[in-house]
Amino acid sequence: NSAPSVEPGVSLGLAQFRKAQISDLEYDLTFRIPKEQSESIPASETIRFNLKSTANNLQLDFRESPENLKSLTVNGQPTDIQFQQEHLILPSDLLNE
């Protein structure tokens, strides 16, 4: 089953592809709220899931300015940030089934 093309938003094809590939999805979010409301809010996110196949890169939704991304680690390995059309692209060679 090949991955859908990368395009803005979440197409039905992308939603169905991820539903077939990902299970047991968990998010851990951390926010550091500054004293001054005018300051940005540093945050981090850890995503855990079971993946059925590593044959394709994985698209994660990120509808935010890519300048707000500071680092990306996949399975404990720092990697370059690949941002396309409102999605983070996780390289298949860093994913585990």
* Positive or negative torsion for Cα 11, 17, 20, 25: negative
Indicate the DSSP class of residue 5: P
Q: What is the mean pLDDT of the chain?
A: 91
Domain boundaries, the chain: 12-94
Decide which of 4 and 83 is more confident: 83
- Convert the pLDDT of each residue in 48-66 to its tens digit: 999 999 999 999 998 888 8
At 1, the pLDDT band (50, 70, 90 cuts) reads: low
Nearest Cα neighbor of 87 from 1, 5, 2 is 5
Residue pLDDT, tens place only, 31-52: 999 999 999 999 999 999 999 9
Q: Is the pLDDT of residue 2 over 80?
A: no
